[in-house]
Amino acid sequence: MSNKSLPLTPELHAYLVAHGSPPDEIVRDLAEETLAVLPGHAQMQIAPEQAAFLTFLVRLLGVRQAVEVGTFTGLSSLAIARGLPEDGRLTCFDISEEFTGIARSYWRRAEVADRIELRIGPAGDTLRELPQERHLDFAFIDADKTGYPVYWAELVSRMRPGAVIAVDNTLRGGRVLAPQNADDRAVAAFNDEVLADVRVDTVMLPLADGVTLARVR
């Protein structure tokens, strides 16, 4: 099979970002503050083109009830919330008051704080507090990689038919082909698990570090 995926040079990547709802001042400031305050963790933040993609996707799907597992400093939650209607709701799950404190300030600045509920604690436990019925329209998973199977198990059964789960970092910098550590091995095994899950239809996108989209049947 031919490979038509185009490698991105830094210049081409900048062009791509600039021509797809480029980051506004709030997103730029959030990215700069994250890098300045948390230089050792800034790589955990999603890429700017992912933020634009999440907002676009949430709007396209007409999402009203969304969940995010792994909030960090809030760029992905900001992007999701901006795609929701005024009466839409996003529930965020994270373990860090420090990281999400930055997120809260940018939610307020972007005037989407009223759409977001933040729950602090291990997501494997706090996700179980969600209603059991199939009520969610969208979920985004971007937390500890070894926890992905747990988060997946808690979310799939709560998604409405036609709902979408997006999972970040499913290519692990290409290391899913030859895993080098526990996180790589966990994601490679998770990818196989998702592929075999008869409850969903999936596609893996070479966006940033790999994004898997799963549509619940």
CA angle 85, 76, 47 (to 5 degrees): 130
Q: Is the pLDDT of residue 176 over 90?
A: yes
**Structural domains of the chain sorted by starting position, each given as residue range(s) with its CATH number in brackets:** 10-216 (3.40.50.150)
| Mean pLDDT score of the chain | 95
- Edge to edge, what strands does the sheet with 136-141 contain? 116-120, 89-94, 65-69, 136-141, 159-168, 211-216, 200-205
Contact status, residue 70 vs residue 142, Cβ threshold 8 Å? yes
| Greater model confidence, 102 or 4 | 102
Confidence at residue 1, expressed as pLDDT on a 0 to 100 scale:
54
156, two tokens: 């799939």
pTM of the complete model? 0.95
Confidence at residue 70, expressed as pLDDT on a 0 to 100 scale:
98
* 11-54 confidence digits (pLDDT tens): 998 898 888 888 999 999 999 999 999 999 999 999 999 999 99
Of the ranges 4-8, 19-23, 79-83, which one carries the lowest mean pLDDT score? 4-8
Cα–chain center distance at 174: 19
43 secondary structure, DSSP code: G
Q: How far apart are CA 166 and CA 26, in angstroms?
A: 23
Confidence at residue 159, expressed as pLDDT on a 0 to 100 scale:
98
* 85-114 confidence digits (pLDDT tens): 999 999 999 999 999 999 999 999 999 999
CB atoms within 10 A of CB 99: 19
The confidence band for 197, taking pLDDT boundaries of 50, 70 and 90, is very high
Contact status, residue 13 vs residue 47, Cβ threshold 8 Å? no
